[in-house]
Structures are given as structure tokens and as C-alpha cells.
Amino acid sequence: MQDKKYLMIPGPTPVPPAVVAAMSRPMIGHRSGDFAVLYQRLEEKIKKVFQTENEVFILTHSGTGGMEAAIANVINPGDEVLALITGNFGERFANIAKAYGAKVEEVNFGWGKDVDLNIVAGKLAQKEYKAVLATQNETSTGVLNDIAGIGALIAKTPALLLVDGVSGVGGIEVKTDAWHIDMLITSSQKAFMLPPGLAMVSVSPKAWEVVNQNKAPRFYFSLPEAKKSLAKWNSAFTPNVSLFMGLEAALDMMLAEGLPEVYARHKRLAKATRAAVRALGLDLLTDDHCASPTVTAILSSGGFEVEELRKVLRQEFGVTFAGGQGTLKGKIFRIAHMGFADKMDIIIAIGALEMALARLRYPLTPGAGIGAAQEIFLKGEI
């Protein structure tokens, strides 16, 4: 049925009606006083999500643009960079650093595993790095990395910690200042419940010392230019005004719910999803200790073709799950429970999954997955 579509991919995520309504407001000029007070309010609110005293820049490009803005303002050719890789987006971060001429040492912890702090400590003991690249929440595998642990190690060194928080920030607690994150990058179309088009980047005092001396070519991505504009509550270049309006509605929703409850909700949805998947006899890609609160990866286990499953889900039930990326293509599917998602979305996801598996003659007890998810919800566990 038209408009009965359930988008359960790790971004873009569904946009709440309140955010759509905010984005439908009349256009305003971005050099106006109205825009300045909007940006000022946004800055106050987004700092609560970032848990930072640093400036947070709201930039008009995707999350990858945010990662490039971080690199372009920090890296000069020949700089030593340590890349902590747990999947596709860890690789992307390393590739951006390479594009800017960095000497990147890539440590790949395996797709589905999290960063091993002992290995990081060992690397930091051997060499002085300009920057360390880490992924808070690896979208491609559903792995949550221990950014607090990584940050504690790096704080003792001259290296900057740049964190890709694209699919985590807003859904998973992050303490930018307490965890010594020098640059935290996220974007609009994940836990912030907005359409794609904005990136948010925070910059620590330690990072500014590097940024201000950086000689790499940068214009649209220039953070010093962004800083000059932000001092006047403005953006250096034309911002996506409607998304700024929508961002305030989204932040207002999150703050009204209460950030602790927002984070608890995501954990609860992940836990229910994992319980349901196990009850159906399917295998999870990741261990519980590093399970992402925003996206869950499930192995095909050979019982069915992943792409066939996704096709049935999409065509017959209107439900879209993500497939695997890179080496995991065809081996996993991913259910996002990110942003504008609550209990009933998990009921839909598992209800549809059960029916699609039954279509593919995978043996299961109808309702068994739902029952396991319900149990988590009834216990109110997080």
C-alpha cells in the first residue's frame, strides 16, 4: 500500500511529523537576525548532546563531508596517522586521510569485532601520531567501540583523537570533553531524525592549535572560516536553512524525552532485536559486549539468501533492512533501530522478518521472535 513503507536502514532514517512540520516553515534568509538566533539556540542544544564546551559547527554537507572537514583541517602531507578500523566506515576515514597525503597506519580489528585497547596502547607506545581516527559506532557491522577507553589512552599523547560518530551521536551517549575527543563528527540523517544534508563537527582547544597551523588546501571545509562566522551566529557559506529548522525540532524532541531516556530507548530496542533474532535461531554478527544500540547485524547462517530475504521484505511487507557492505555483502543483513524508532518498530521489524523467513521456508515458530522482544519490553530492561 502506498505510504506504508518501513525504512529500517542505518540512515536515512524516518523523519518525525514534528520535524517535517518544522522544515515546512517559510524560508528565511541566512544572513538575517532570525537565522542568527536560530543558530545560537541550536548551538546551546547540540552541545548538550555532544556533552561539550567546544564549539559545534553545523555544516551543509553529508557525514563524509564532516569527516573530510576534520581531516582537511588537521592533516598535512606526510603526517603520521593511526586508523582504528572495525569496518567499512573505519576504512573510509583512513582513505580520506590518505587522500590528504597522510601516512596512515591501518589497524584492522576485523569486521564485527571492536577495537582492542591493548593494541592501541601498544601502537601509541611505539610512535608519535598526528592523529588517531576512530569510529564510535561502526554502521557496517553494528559494533560500538569504547571511545572513552581510546580517548584516555590518546589524551596522554600529542595525537588528536578524531571520532566518526555519524551513526551513534544522538542515539548513544558520547562525552566529548570527558572522553578527550578532539573532533567529533556526526550527521543529520541518523539518530538526529532528519533528512541527509547536515554534518556537525566539534573542535577541541587541542585541535584548534593544529587546525590554525594547517596548510592543506581547504575552502568549503575551512574550520577557521566556520569559526569566524559562528562568532556572529552564522555559517561561512549558504546553510541548508530548512534542515537547521528541522534540527531544532529534533533536538527539542530529544531534550523533551530526556537524553538519558533517548539512550536507554536505543539500548532497549537493540536488546529486544537481539533477543528476537536469537529466538528465531539466527546468529548475530557481534558479541553482546560491543553490540551497537542503533543497528544490529544478523548473519544469514546459510539458511537463506540474504538478498532474497530483503527482496521479500521490501516487496511483500514494505520493510527495508540494509544488506552487508564490503566483505560482508550477501552474508549479513542489518536492522536499524535508530532515531525515530520505538518498541512498535521492533515489533514490525521482527513481525515482517518472521513472515519473510517463512516465505523462504526457513523453519521457525511463528511469533517466537516477537515473543522474545515483548519479554524485553515488558521487563523494561536496558
The binding site for its own copies (CB under 8 A) comprises: 1-4, 6, 16-18, 24, 253, 256-257, 265, 317-319, 340, 342-344, 347-348, 351-352, 354-355, 358-359, 365-372, 374-375, 377-378
Q: How far is the CB of 39 from its own copies (least distance, A)?
A: 24
Q: Which residue, 8 or 71, has its beta carbon nearer to its own copies?
A: 8
Q: How far is the CB of 239 from its own copies (least distance, A)?
A: 24
Q: Which residue has the cell 534540527?
A: 247
Q: Which residue, 138 or 354, has its beta carbon nearer to its own copies?
A: 354
Q: Which residue, 22 or 147, has its beta carbon nearer to its own copies?
A: 22
Q: Count the Cβ atoms, other than its own, within 10 Å of residue 286.
A: 23
For residues 55-85, b (16+ Cβ closer than 10 Å) or e, as one string?
A: bbbbbbbbbbbbbbbbbbbbbeeebbbbbbb
Alpha carbons within 13 A on the beta-carbon side of 77: 3
Q: Which residue, 2 or 118, has its beta carbon nearer to its own copies?
A: 2
Q: How far is the CB of 181 from its own copies (least distance, A)?
A: 28
Q: How far is the CB of 212 from its own copies (least distance, A)?
A: 41
Q: Which residue, 36 or 347, has its beta carbon nearer to its own copies?
A: 347
Closest alpha carbon to 52 in 223, 230, 182: 182
Q: How far is the CB of 107 from its own copies (least distance, A)?
A: 38
Q: Which residue, 216 or 368, has its beta carbon nearer to its own copies?
A: 368
Q: Which residue, 1 or 125, has its beta carbon nearer to its own copies?
A: 1
Q: Give the angle subtended at the CA of 287 by the CAs of 286 and 290, to the nearest 5°.
A: 85
What's phi and psi for 317, nearest 5 deg? -120, 0
Cα–Cα distance between 319 and 299 in angstroms, integer?
Answer: 18
Q: How far is the CB of 353 from its own copies (least distance, A)?
A: 11
Q: Which residue, 19 or 107, has its beta carbon nearer to its own copies?
A: 19
Q: Which residue, 106 or 375, has its beta carbon nearer to its own copies?
A: 375
Q: How far is the CB of 116 from its own copies (least distance, A)?
A: 35
Q: How far is the CB of 51 from its own copies (least distance, A)?
A: 22
Q: How far is the CB of 222 from its own copies (least distance, A)?
A: 37
